Structure 1
Amino acid sequence: MLDRMREHDVVATDGTRIRAWDTGVGPDVLLCTGLGALPGAWPAAGARVRGWHYRGTFGSARPDDPDRIAVDDHVADAVAVLDDAGVGRCVVAGWAMGVTVAAALALRHPERVSGLLLVAGAPGDAFAGAFGVPGVPESVRRALGVLSVSALRLAAPVLDGVLHRVPLAGSLGAVLRHDWAWYFTLSLALGRTPRFDLRPLTCPTTVLAGRYDPLAAASDVVGAAGSLPQARVRVVPNTHLLPVENPGLVVAELDALVRRAAAVREALLLTPRSPGAA
């Protein structure tokens, strides 16, 4: 698991104070974690992994405008983190709902993304993959997902009253001390993002799906990348916590993707350009 994190604050384009972090050494990798997941849940890799905590969580401030929590706001925060670190282009990884952010970053700023690792999540329309029981229509799954999270947001005061009193320290204690109403507000805003069409992507892409994932059906995770000829797709016997359950696989696939991205960059540098090329 990632450890010895260095944290500092970055100011987003709308003035929101974002808590950025980085750890490790090696090639730069930007990690878009799942909502509510701490970076420590991600396996240690031979890379300098960096990222940020979503607005209003784990030290990042809430925006003055509470509506500034759409996917474009998270993408802007990701770009601010890269700019602050002086990273022009790198491999980007997304886990769970972080897949939506990672995919949006690659589509909106392809010049910043050299490779894309999507783990246990679909690129938008996240609730459509919930309750992935065979035979349940996508529209029903989507409605159940939205209704479930909406109900949990209403129950947030009860969750706060119970979970905030659990005497746990460390990462798990920090997760339990969420402001749960805000967490479910973030989840609804990001989960309702429409499904992205990934066909414009040209960077090397790897997709990992959990066969037993109850929150992101493997068919949804894999289907979104089915149109990408450059995508490597694996369905493995894991759940939504794939990076925790199978860290060796995630590290191996990330390392391979970093090498693929570097090889593509080197090939492009060595390819002669036509006289009329800009």
Structure 2
Amino acid sequence: MKLNVLVEGEGFPILCLHGHPGAGRSLSVFTQHLSKRFRTIAPDLRGYGNSQTQQDFLMIDHLTDLEEVLDRYNISRCIVLGWSLGGILAIELALKHPDRISGLILVATSARPWGDHPPISLQDNVFTGIAAILNRLQPGWGWNIETFGKRSLFRHLVQQQTPATYEYLANEAVYAYLRTSGAATRALSLALKRGYNRLPELEKIQCPCLVMAGEKDRHITAASSLEMVRSLSNCEWYCYPDTAHLLPWEIPQQILGDIDRWLTNHPDITQPAK
């Protein structure tokens, strides 16, 4: 499938992969910053955003689509930044195409993802719906955050429930949720039910890796991410306190600063293929 792709900037390419629910524009927190020095390529994965399909598919089809993107833009070597599901796909690309992937930036993800999300109540769903609607109408409204946001499912997605974080939720998360298809949800659910685990293969990944996790992530726990880190041979690890699964929207400047430092410390990964 030919994916819809958002391309910004010029220079060495960074392939940016969103999570579930998600879309390429969900990664604006990364692409707006990185595109000042690099060429960022942020596709809507199959079944997400403007890459819609009416047919069911398997997770492996995402890899075929991403290979087409690399070929379409004549990318022989690139960094892959993946958030949540996007991180899993980044790992798969590095395992399948080690010659094309020069580095990995893995955010809130794991090669054997597991969570500890508590049961969801009717009140959770009701308050989440109200909080989302009000936040869409008036992003970052303090009264809404205090009255509904902190009592909704948002409390498990973000720990720092600030107006700035809620503006990201209004501008990016609502669109991502509405543009995530049932086919995409079914493909992910099937993969998880089958017990996804790539830990035994991680020793094959030799490129530099940066792993970033939220200490209080309930969706893909920090312990799950750390388990992956221990299986990677060339990895730098950050676990941020008082953050959760949407940590790039909670502490964007800290996240971007750490990415910049990592890129500076690994100049070879931004060199074109020889």
Structure 1 residues not aligned, in runs of 5+: 1-15, 134-143, 149-154, 270-278
**Superposed CA offset, 1:56-92 (max 9, x none):** 221113264x2x332x211121111111111111110
TM-score by length of 2: 0.70
Amino acid in the other structure paired with 1:195: N
CA distance in 1, matches of 2:71, 2:100: 10
What is the CA–CA distance in structure 2 between the aligned matches of 1:241 and 1:178, rounded to whole Å? 18
Paired AA for residue 177 in structure 1? L
Counterpart contact for 1:97–1:191, Cα < 8 Å: no
- Per-residue CA deviation, residues 162-197 of structure 1 (Å, 9 max, x unaligned), is x99x98696455334336633431331343462113
Aligned to 1:252: 257
Matches within 5 A, 1:81-96: 81-96=69-84
Cα 1:202/1:45, change in 2 over 3 Å = same
Deviation at 1:255, TM superposition (A): 2.6
**Letter matched to residue 16 of structure 2:** L
Cα–Cα, structure 1 residues 176 and 265, in superposed 2: closer, same or farther, change >3 Å? Answer: closer
* 2:196 aligned partner: 194
Task: Quickly say closer, same or farther: Cα 1:167–1:208, change in 2 above 3 A.
Answer: closer
- Residue type of the alignment partner of 1:33: H
Q: CA 1:264–1:38 in 2, change beyond 3 Å: closer, same or farther?
A: closer
Q: Which residues of 2 match residues 121-200 of structure 1 at below 5 A? A: 121-123=109-111, 125-126=112-113, 129-131=114-116, 171-178=172-179, 181-192=182-193, 194-197=196-199, 198-200=202-204
Q: Percent identity?
A: 24
Kept in 2: contact 1:114–1:261 (CA 8 A)? no
Q: Distance in 2 between matches of 1:89 and 1:58?
A: 26
Unaligned runs of 5+ in 2: 138-169
Q: Which amino acid aligns with 1:243?
A: P
CA contact (8 A) 2:205 2:233 kept: no
TM-score, normalisation: structure 1: 0.69
- What RMSD, in angstroms, separates the aligned Cα atoms of the two structures? 3.4
- Number of the residue aligned with 1:61: 52
Kept after mapping to 2: 8 A contact 1:92/1:113? yes
Contact 2:82 2:90 in 1 (8 A): yes
Say yes or no: does 1:78 pair with 2:66: yes
**Higher normalized helix content (fraction of residues):** 2
Which letter maps to 2:93?
L
Give the 3 Å change call, closer, same or farther, for CA 191–249 of structure 1 in structure 2.
Answer: farther
Query: Structure 2 vs 1, CA of residues 178 and 74 (structure 1 numbering), >3 Å: closer, same or farther?
Result: same
CA 250–25 in structure 1, closer or farther in 2 if over 3 Å, else same: farther
Work out the CA distance in 2 between the residues paired with 1:200 and 1:176.
Answer: 34
Greater relative contact order: 1 or 2 (C-alpha under 8 angstroms, separation 6 or more)?
2
Paired position in structure 1 for 2:42: 51
> Which amino acid counterpart does residue 17 of structure 1 have in structure 2?
K
Contact kept in structure 2, 1:55 and 1:69, CA below 8 Å? no
| Cα distance between partner residues in 2 of 1:201 and 1:167 | 41
8 Å Cα contact 1:41-1:243 kept in structure 2: no
Tell me the distance in 2 between the aligned counterparts of 1:89 and 1:101: 16
- Matched residue, 1:263: 268
Q: Is the 8 A contact 1:51 1:78 kept in 2?
A: no
Q: Distance in 2 between matches of 1:180 and 1:167?
A: 21
Which of 214, 220, 227 is matched with 1:216 structurally? 220
| Matched residue SS, 1:207 | strand
Distance 1:63 1:254, change over 3 A: farther
